[in-house]
Amino acid sequence: MNSDSSPYPDCGPQSLPPSRMAPLGMLLLMASCFTFCLSRENPKEFALTKPKKSSTKETERKETKAEEELDTGVLEVFHPTHEWQALRPGQAVPAGSHVRLNLQTGAREAKLQYKDKFQNNLKGLKKGKRLDINTNTYTSQDLKSALAKLKEGAEMESSKEDKARQAEVKRLFRPIEELKKDFDELNVVIETDMQIMVRLITKFNSSSSSLEEKIAALFDLEYYVHQMDNAQDLLSFGGLQVVINGLNSTEPLVKEYAAFVLGAAFSSNPKVQVEAIEGGALQKLLVILATEQPLTVKKKVLFALCSLLRHFPYAQQQFLKLGGLQVLRTLVQEKDTEVLAVRVVTLLYDLVTEKMFAEEEAELTQDTSPEKLQQYRQVHLLPGLREQGWCEITTHLLALPEHDAREKVLQTLGALLATCRDQYRQDPELSRMLAGLQAEYQALATLELQDGEHEGYFQELLGSITRLLKELR
Ligand SMILES: *[C@@H]1O[C@H](CO)[C@@H](O)[C@H](O)[C@H]1NC(C)=O
Ligand SMILES: *[C@@H]1O[C@H](CO)[C@@H](O)[C@H](O)[C@H]1NC(C)=O
């Protein structure tokens, strides 16, 4: 189960976010993206794109772990071989690499491409055609100064240190002068994020696009909608509805990638969440989860559902009204869906604690009737969970072998304790399993302590087990 390759294990905000690059890093990235685009299959689609100029909007960017990683400004370089290898977000691709989208795994992959083939690709591009550079990664100011530098034919900084770096750059990437010539020849066109999204939606919405083109359009779109203002712009021209309707497709891949885009667009973005509810997204997501579909589709759809429900009590109410809990129950009781089961339980745990926190917060701030709290009070989640057998379902998941799955299940058992106490107490299987786990983690915690670790993971797990056993006595 740990071999699960989905990039979205949970439904917290996930992204492949924008970040600033130092000028050198940026030129590197431009060089690499340049190649990246040239080596893509369809030269007609290229666009040199420019991120939206905005300082206030920058502060609205969703904060995510991935963003923090990229913000360190360290540009990670991908080392291509003659085999296809998966690319990680933010990795720079050296010149001459061939990049493709793997439809099975959803990953971008790259490998070495022979130089003459690369040059031929370049010749295939005509003047005025666009170049797709992944510019969400720099500000427009960065981009302008980079282009200015290219125009002047300016060399990079020439201190000793930089010379060494430059030599390294030349080794890995094409010389800047060569790049500049290419840019001139291509008569590069600058495109805004909005224009790109319109182009991608048009491509996806067009009946003359092939399945592969549609999936590629969704895949690219997902990158843009991580940015909050981009996701909101998607509303302005009806793009969100087009993606929501994509959930109706008969093609599993279209459903999967539409859900992938929606999950990113909903994430911590109330305006988009509200529109999605109005656009019928919740029903469509539940229909997919309730019907027979490939596991990969259900994974992404569950991710989109999480994103839609989190921090949005109105959607949670609708979810309960539409029978969402029954749908999830059926889902976790299917065969071979343990991966999904743990995610479902985690979602339920998140929803239970979210409501608790809203109530605690209102108490602390002495705010007796904030609108949001009123909304949370109408989410009757716990009674629904008990009535529909979630106390037992959660208990059974404790049998999963992975530590992190057990951790999630233990957390959830704790959160459901007040609701499920009677059932838990009457369940001899639960006490037996907890006792078994207690012994197992006792041993692991002892090893941790011997290693000098005093707040270790296994000690923590042991602590939750011991607390549960005490409560159930
Ligand atoms: C998508 O296609 C439909 C039917 O061809 C059309 O009515 C609609 O306006 C299109 N939507 C967008 C946002 O392009
Ligand atoms: C999508 O499918 C649902 C039923 O699953 C149907 O009610 C709805 O009208 C369909 N919408 C579109 C845009 O085809």
The residue whose CA has the least distance to atom 1 of ligand 2 is 248
Residue 63 predicted with pLDDT over 60: no
Within a domain: 17: no
Does residue 131 sit in the same domain as residue 227? no
Identify residue 84 by its one-letter amino acid code.
W
Within a domain: 317: no
pLDDT at position 420: 94
- Tokens at 89, concatenated: 């977000």
What percent of the chain clears pLDDT 90, i.e. is strictly above it?
Answer: 51
pLDDT at position 117: 40
Does residue 204 sit in the same domain as residue 298? yes
Which 3 state secondary structure label does DSSP give 128? Answer: coil
29 within 8 A of 171, measured Cβ to Cβ: no
DSSP assignment of 142-170? HHHHHHHHHHHTPPP--SHHHHHHHHHHH
Of these ranges, 24-38, 62-76, 431-445, the one predicted with the greatest mean pLDDT is 431-445
Structural domain including 118 reads 74-156
CB-defined site of ligand 1, < 6 Å: 201-202, 205, 237-239, 242
Handedness of CA 385, 391, 396, 398 (dihedral sign): positive
The residue among 260, 290, 309 that closes a domain is: 309
Q: What are phi and psi of 37, to 5 degrees?
A: -70, -40
How far is the CA of 44 from the CAs of 108, 127, 301, in angstroms?
20, 11, 32
pLDDT at position 268: 87
328 within 8 A of 393, measured Cβ to Cβ: no
Please tell me if the CB atom of residue 283 comes closer than 6 angstroms to any atom of ligand 2: no
- Closest residue by Cα to residue 155 from 167, 140, 143: 167
* Greater pLDDT, 376 or 76: 376
How far is the CA of 453 from the CAs of 163, 198, 450, in angstroms?
46, 53, 7
Residue 284 Cα to ligand 2 middle (Å):
8
Does residue 200 sit in the same domain as residue 305? yes
- Counting every residue written for the chain, the total comes to 473
Does residue 138 sit in the same domain as residue 225? no
Tens digit of each residue's pLDDT (9 = 90 or more) over 262-299 = 999 999 899 999 999 999 999 999 999 999 999 999 99
pLDDT at position 115: 41
Within a domain: 220: yes
The residue among 274, 309, 344 that closes a domain is: 309
* Greater pLDDT, 200 or 171: 200
> Cβ of 60: how many Cβ atoms within 10 Å?
13
Does residue 148 sit in the same domain as residue 206? no
Lowest mean pLDDT among 104-108, 192-196, 242-246, 419-423: 104-108
| DSSP H or E segment with residue 192 | strand 190-192
Which 3 state secondary structure label does DSSP give 430? Answer: helix
Does residue 228 sit in the same domain as residue 281? yes
Does residue 295 sit in the same domain as residue 217? yes
Q: Per DSSP, what are the bridge partners of residue 100?
A: 109
pLDDT at position 281: 97
Does residue 217 sit in the same domain as residue 130? no
Cα(150)–Cα(176) distance, rounded to whole angstroms?
A: 8
Using most ligand atoms within 8 A of CB, pick from 199, 204, 205, 241 the residue to mutate for ligand 1.
Answer: 205
For residue 202, give the ligand 1 atom closest to its CA.
14
Assign 385 a pLDDT band (cuts: 50, 70, 90).
Answer: very high
189 within 8 A of 126, measured Cβ to Cβ: no
pLDDT at position 358: 87
Which 3 state secondary structure label does DSSP give 92? Answer: strand
Cα(393)–Cα(332) distance, rounded to whole angstroms?
A: 8
Does residue 151 sit in the same domain as residue 210? no
How far is the CA of 259 from the CAs of 35, 208, 296, 298, 404, in angstroms?
30, 22, 11, 9, 25
Lowest mean pLDDT among 198-202, 364-368, 382-386, 418-422: 364-368
Residue 130 predicted with pLDDT over 70: no
* Greater pLDDT, 63 or 316: 316
Within a domain: 141: yes
Q: What is the mean pLDDT of residues 158-182?
A: 60
- Closest residue by Cα to residue 471 from 426, 427, 428, 425: 425
The residue among 100, 128, 156 that closes a domain is: 156
Q: What is the mean pLDDT of residues 398-413?
A: 93
- The structure's pTM equals 0.65
Residue 452 predicted with pLDDT over 50: yes
pLDDT at position 361: 83
CATH of the domain at 238: 1.25.10.10
Residue 19 Cα to ligand 2 middle (Å):
38
In a 10 Å sphere around its CB, with 0-12 CB exposed, 13-18 middle and 19+ buried, how is residue 274 labelled? middle
- Tokens at 465, concatenated: 């087990």
Does residue 143 sit in the same domain as residue 236? no
Within a domain: 31: no
Within a domain: 393: no
Tens digit of each residue's pLDDT (9 = 90 or more) over 185-231 = 666 656 788 999 999 999 999 999 999 999 999 999 999 999 999 99
Cα(138)–Cα(333) distance, rounded to whole angstroms?
A: 46
Cα(192)–Cα(387) distance, rounded to whole angstroms?
A: 51
Mean pLDDT (the chain) is: 75
Using most ligand atoms within 8 A of CB, pick from 199, 242, 244, 275 the residue to mutate for ligand 1.
Answer: 242
Residue 49 predicted with pLDDT over 80: no
Within a domain: 465: no
Residue 205 Cα to ligand 1 middle (Å):
6
Domain count, the chain: 2
Within a domain: 267: yes
Cα(22)–Cα(142) distance, rounded to whole angstroms?
A: 9
Tens digit of each residue's pLDDT (9 = 90 or more) over 95-129 = 556 666 665 566 677 776 544 344 344 443 433 33
For residue 283, give the ligand 2 atom closest to its CA.
5
- Tokens at 157, concatenated: 């900084």
